[in-house]
Amino acid sequence: MASAGPGADGERRIGPDAAGVAVLGACAAWPLITAAARDGRPEGMLLAVLAVAAGYAAGRIGGALLPVAAPCAGALAGVGLTVTVPHLAPGPQITAPLGHAGATAAVLTLSAGAACCAAWAASAPAVRLALRLLAAGVAVTAAVLGSLAGCVAGAAVLPCSLSVGRIRRRGPAVAGLAVAAAGVTGLTWAVAGDAVPEGLAASLEGRLTPHRVGLWRDALDMVGDHAGLGVGPGRFGELSATSGRSPVSDGKPHSAPLQLAAEQGVVGVVLLALVFGWLLYALWRSPRATPVVLTAGAALTLLAALAAVGNALSFTVVSVGGGLLAGLATSRPFTDDAGRRAGDTRPRGGRLTR
């Protein structure tokens, strides 16, 4: 397989990096605009943007220096965090299916993804087996902690990772991940708008709880009344009747797309979609091996699904973890550069064969 030289590879990376700067910059600017117009509180959104950027930068650095050890350390750190700090954040401890259970599931899903990425990056069969056993252990940990969503999502990462080993063209697979995330978000929106068949709606409401569905409907009502600028960042809890009736409410609708749509208008949810699209675009253009890229993409898609039906992205550790995994999977290990230089006997600007 022919691949371009260092200059062409550098040009290949400019697009995703420039897109990331533009999208994250817009995500930081828009909450400030809506907060000024609606007297909102943009600090939470700004912290989330900073967390994603910091995690992504750390992942790029760690993946370049230690392509196997860095994701392995990230996986162990995620498991350790959920075991030692089960609530992941201060404040009202809202029990499942709302609240901190979503953050626990998200962190464990990202941990399983990181372990599987490390397994694909390792060359020794014994090390690969050990790292995949670590990924399986993450799902077991979720079950022990009582996180059903974390157990299901964590258990789904390993077979997804194993199945992508034979895929050579990552483009269609990345497109499939985008469609899957859009499907879950669309289903969430449909449930909030009573646009699903009655039998399915009753089944979903039973699993999601009427309280959560009521929060979604309040958010959708706010979108209808304030589609342009939203009600203002951080103001959902003040205006939601369902949230006000709950003695343990955290003031969030427990759906990232609906929260941004309600608080920041249509532009807010478009920016959230652009962030996910940018991550998939960066993975598509990544110099890492396709199994590593698609494993990370599968874990991030599961994270997007959890965020669509819960408040996982309200926790800084989840935003950092998502950015970290994306950074690890889009980094270019220095060992690859050293191998290219050692095997390159052609003049600068030539093509290498791998």
pLDDT tens per residue, range 114-158: 999 999 999 999 999 999 999 999 999 988 888 888 899 989 999
- Identity of the amino acid at 213: V
Per-residue pLDDT band at 3 (split at 50, 70, 90):
very low
Name the residue among 337, 323, 305 with its Cα closest to residue 152: 305
Give the separation between CA 68 and CA 71, rounded to whole angstroms: 6
Per-residue pLDDT at 251 exceeds 50 = yes
Q: Find out whether 338 and 319 touch, Cβ atoms under 8 Å.
A: no
Q: Given this model, what pLDDT does residue 91 score?
A: 43
| Torsion (CA) 228, 233, 238, 242 in degrees, nearest 10 | 70
Q: What average pLDDT does the chain have?
A: 86
Whether pLDDT at 1 is above 80: no
Q: φ and ψ at 284, to 5 degrees?
A: -60, -40
Q: Which pLDDT does position 97 carry in this prediction?
A: 41
- Residue 227 φ then ψ, to 5°: -70, -25
What pLDDT score was predicted for residue 165? 87
Q: Where are the domains of the chain?
A: 2-88+95-344
Mean pLDDT across 208-213: 88
Tell me the per-residue pLDDT of 53-99, one tens digit each, with 9 for 90 and over. Answer: 999 999 999 999 999 999 999 999 999 988 887 555 444 444 444 34
DSSP 184-201: HHHHHHHHHTT-S-HHHH
Percent of the chain exceeding pLDDT 90 equals: 66
Does the pLDDT value for residue 348 go beyond 50?
Answer: no
Q: What is the pLDDT of residue 203?
A: 87
Of 345 and 299, which is predicted with more confidence?
299
Instruction: Give the mean pLDDT of 11-22.
Output: 83
Instruction: Determine the average pLDDT of the residues in 315-339.
Output: 88
Among 106, 114, 152, which Cα is nearest to 313's?
106
Task: Count Cβ atoms below 10 Å from residue 12 Cβ, excluding itself.
Answer: 15
| Cα separation, 165 vs 203, whole angstroms | 36
